[in-house]
Amino acid sequence: MIASQRLKPSTLNSYEGLTRLYIRPALGKKRLNRLSPADVRRFLSEFKVSCLCCLRGADKKRPEDKRSCCAVGRCCERRPSARTVQYIHAVLRSALQQAMREELIARNVARIPE
């Protein structure tokens, strides 16, 4: 991984977490060369309004007696902050930029203005 050579460990850890928890589940089945600006816009707009624990399925993973939110039909309504949405976009844009440098894709669809 190229990013690990130039980033602080805490930054790399943050990137990995956001990618694993949010980006990959939403966009991971889409081939990079088939990803469109509309896919990115849709992902970001859905991410803005989604409950974080519903999005991650965190409540479903808890033991039944510890579930308190989405898995029992009572959403906690915890939405990502505007900064988190910006950060997710920045991580996605950076990853696609690296894919461009590696010549895996022809253009970075996350760089196209909204």
**pLDDT tens-digit map of 13-47:** 888 888 988 899 888 888 988 999 999 999 999 89
Q: Please give the span between the terminal C-alpha atoms of the chain, in angstroms, as a whole number.
A: 29
Q: Which pLDDT does position 72 carry in this prediction?
A: 74
Task: Give the list of residues 6+ apart from residue 19 with CB closer than 8 angstroms, or none.
Answer: 91, 95
Domain chopping of the chain, boundaries: 37-114
114 versus 35: the higher-pLDDT residue is: 35
- Distance set, CA 67 to CA 19, 25, 39, 44, 86 (Å): 25, 22, 32, 27, 30
